[in-house]
Chains A and B, each alone.
Chain A
Amino acid sequence: MAVDLPIYMDHSASTPTDPRVVEAMLPYFTEIYGNASSAHEFGRKAEDAIETARETVARILNCRPQEVVFTSCGSESDNLALRGAAWTARRMGRANRLITTPVEHSAVTKTVEQLADLMGFEAVVLPVNREGLVDVEDFAHACGAGGAAASVIYANNEIGTIEPIRQLARLAREQGVWLHTDAVQAAEQLSLDVQELGVDLMSLSAHKFYGPKGVGVLYVRDGIELVPSQSGGSHENGRRAGTHATPLIVGLAKALEIAYDELDAHVAHYRARRDQLIEGILSRVPGALLSGHPEHRLPSHASFVFDGVDSSRLVMHLDVKGVAASGGSACKTGSPEPSGTLLAMGYSPREAIGGLRLTVGRRTTEAEVDYTINAVVEAVEKVRKLSGELTV
Chain B
Amino acid sequence: MRNNGDVRVVVAMSGGVDSSVAAALLLEQGYQVIGMMMRLWSEEPFGGGIHNRCCTPDQMADARRIAARLGIPFYVLDTKAVFRNTVVEFFINQHRQGVTPNPCLECNRQIRFHFLLENALSLDADYLATGHYARVSRGEDGRYVLKKAADAHKDQSYVLSVLGQEQLARTLFPVGDFTKPEVREIAARAGLPTASKKDSQDLCFVGDNNYRRFLADHAPEVMQPGPIVRKNGQIIGQHAGLPNYTIGQRKGLGLNSHEPLYVIAMNPFRNALVVGTADELGQKALTAGRVNWVSGEIPREPFRAEVKIRYKAHPVPAWVEPLPDARVRVCFDEPLRDITPGQGAVVYDDDIVLGGGVIERPAD
**A387 in contact with B79 (CB, 8 Å):** no
Q: Is A93 an interface residue (CB 8 A)?
A: no
Closest to B75 in A: A316
For A354-392 the 0/1 string (1 means CB < 8 A from B) is 000000000000000000000000000011011111111
Q: Is B6 an interface residue (CB 8 A)?
A: no
Q: How far is the CA of A69 from the CA of B118 in the complex (A)?
A: 52
Closest to A336 in B: B78
Main DSSP-derived SS at the A contact region: loop
For A285-315 the 0/1 string (1 means CB < 8 A from B) is 0000000000000000000000000101100
Q: Is B302 an interface residue (CB 8 A)?
A: no
**A335 in contact with B80 (CB, 8 Å):** yes
Given A313-B77, A391-B81, decide whether A385 and B115 contact each other with a Cβ distance below 8 A.
Answer: no
Q: Is B39 an interface residue (CB 8 A)?
A: yes
**Residue in A310, A316, A336, A387 whose Cβ sees the most chain B Cβ within 10 Å:** A316
Contact residue among A319, A320, A389 (Cβ-Cβ distance under 8 Å from B82): A389
Given A333-B39, A334-B38, A389-B85, decide whether A317 and B78 contact each other with a Cβ distance below 8 A.
Answer: no
Q: Is A40 an interface residue (CB 8 A)?
A: no
Across-interface contacts of B78 in A (CB, < 8 A): 310, 312-313, 334-336, 390-391
Closest to A316 in B: B75
For B60-80 the 0/1 string (1 means CB < 8 A from A) is 100010000000010111111
**B119 in contact with A332 (CB, 8 Å):** no
**B73 in contact with A334 (CB, 8 Å):** no
Closest Cβ of chain A: how far from B268's Cβ, in Å?
A: 29
Closest Cβ of chain B: how far from A326's Cβ, in Å?
A: 14
**Residue in A312, A316, A388 whose Cβ sees the most chain B Cβ within 10 Å:** A388
Across-interface contacts of B55 in A (CB, < 8 A): 334
Q: Is B129 an interface residue (CB 8 A)?
A: no
**A388 in contact with B122 (CB, 8 Å):** no
Closest Cβ of chain A: how far from B232's Cβ, in Å?
A: 48
Q: How far is the CA of A336 from the CA of B77 in the complex (A)?
A: 9
**A388 in contact with B115 (CB, 8 Å):** yes
Contact residue among B37, B60, B80, B122 (Cβ-Cβ distance under 8 Å from A317): B122
Across-interface contacts of A382 in B (CB, < 8 A): 122
Q: Is B298 an interface residue (CB 8 A)?
A: no
Q: How far is the CA of A334 from the CA of B118 in the complex (A)?
A: 17
Across-interface contacts of B85 in A (CB, < 8 A): 389
Given A316-B123, A320-B73, decide whether A333 and B60 contact each other with a Cβ distance below 8 A.
Answer: yes
Q: Is B45 an interface residue (CB 8 A)?
A: yes
Query: How extensive is the interface on chain A, given as a class?
Result: 20 to 34
**Residue in B38, B55, B78, B80 whose Cβ sees the most chain A Cβ within 10 Å:** B78
Closest to A320 in B: B123
Q: Is B57 an interface residue (CB 8 A)?
A: yes
Across-interface contacts of A333 in B (CB, < 8 A): 39, 57, 60, 76
**A387 in contact with B115 (CB, 8 Å):** yes
Q: How far is the CA of A336 from the CA of B75 in the complex (A)?
A: 13
Q: How far is the CA of A389 from the CA of B45 in the complex (A)?
A: 18
Contact residue among A335, A383, A388 (Cβ-Cβ distance under 8 Å from B39): A335
**A334 in contact with B82 (CB, 8 Å):** no
Closest to B125 in A: A320
Across-interface contacts of A313 in B (CB, < 8 A): 77-78, 119
Q: Is B34 an interface residue (CB 8 A)?
A: yes
For A319-354 the 0/1 string (1 means CB < 8 A from B) is 110000000000011111000000000000000000
Closest Cβ of chain B: how far from A231's Cβ, in Å?
A: 31
**A334 in contact with B79 (CB, 8 Å):** yes
**A332 in contact with B76 (CB, 8 Å):** yes
Given A386-B119, A391-B81, decide whether A319 and B73 contact each other with a Cβ distance below 8 A.
Answer: yes
Which chain B residues in 76-124 approach chain A with CB under 8 Å? Answer: 76-82, 85, 115, 118-119, 122-124
Closest to A389 in B: B81
Across-interface contacts of A386 in B (CB, < 8 A): 118-119, 122
Q: How far is the CA of A385 from the CA of B121 in the complex (A)?
A: 12
Across-interface contacts of B119 in A (CB, < 8 A): 313, 386, 388
Contact residue among B37, B60, B64, B124 (Cβ-Cβ distance under 8 Å from A320): B124
Closest to A334 in B: B39
Closest to B55 in A: A334
Q: How far is the CA of A176 from the CA of B76 in the complex (A)?
A: 48
Across-interface contacts of A383 in B (CB, < 8 A): 122
Which chain A residues in 247-305 approach chain B with CB under 8 Å? Answer: none
Closest Cβ of chain A: how far from B117's Cβ, in Å?
A: 11
Closest to A353 in B: B78
For A16-31 the 0/1 string (1 means CB < 8 A from B) is 0000000000000000
Given A320-B34, A320-B124, decide whether A391 and B115 contact each other with a Cβ distance below 8 A.
Answer: no
Q: How far is the CA of A167 from the CA of B30 in the complex (A)?
A: 60
Given A333-B57, A335-B78, A336-B78, decide whether A385 and B38 contact each other with a Cβ distance below 8 A.
Answer: no
Closest to B40 in A: A334
Closest to B60 in A: A333
Closest to B34 in A: A320
For B19-40 the 0/1 string (1 means CB < 8 A from A) is 0000000000000001001110
Q: List 13 A-B contacts (CB under 8 A).
A: A312-B76, A317-B123, A320-B124, A334-B39, A334-B60, A334-B76, A382-B122, A385-B122, A387-B118, A388-B118, A390-B81, A391-B78, A391-B80
What are the nearest 3 A-B pairs in CB distance?
A334-B39, A334-B76, A391-B81
Binding site for A on B (CB under 8 A): 34, 37-39, 45, 55, 57, 60, 64, 73, 75-82, 85, 115, 118-119, 122-124
